[in-house]
Amino acid sequence: MSFKDIACTLGTELDNECIRIRADQTELGQQLTERINGVANDVKALDAKVTTRFAEMDARFEQMDNKFTNKFNELQENQSTMMHILIDIQRKLDVN
């Protein structure tokens, strides 16, 4: 083999190796893109679940707040009624 043949063979091998490297890089890029898209889809699904759970929790807290407000209002009404009864008793005692 002459130097010319050796140089041509080397050039061809280098060119083929560069083509293989570019193909590998493209394939790895495609795989990475698919993995990123898969993770993005998983994050979207998880976000939907979390949003749903927060909505459920908000509804529960709203119900509890309404219950406590109602109980507090009842307690105030009962205290007011008891105060009026005590005032009436005190008035009757003062009259006697």
**Dihedral sign of CA atoms 8, 14, 17, 19 in order:** negative
- DSSP assignment of 51-68 equals HHHHHHHHHHHHHHHHHH
In a domain, 92, yes or no: no
93, part of any domain: no
Show pLDDT as tens, one digit a residue, over the chain (96 residues): 788 888 899 999 999 999 999 999 999 999 999 999 999 999 999 999 999 999 999 999 999 999 999 999 999 999 999 999 999 898 888 776
Q: Is residue 81 part of a domain?
A: no
Could you give the 3-state DSSP secondary structure of residue 37? helix
| Residue 96, pLDDT score | 64
Q: What's the domain count of the chain? A: 1
| CA pair distance 44, 38, nearest whole angstrom | 10
The whole domain housing 61 covers 1-71
Q: What's the pLDDT at 79?
A: 94
Q: What is the pLDDT of residue 2?
A: 86
Where b means 16+ CB within 10 Å and e means fewer, 62-88 reads eeeeeeeeeeeeeeeeeeeeeeeeeee
Check the CA dihedral 82-87-92-96 and report its sign.
Answer: positive
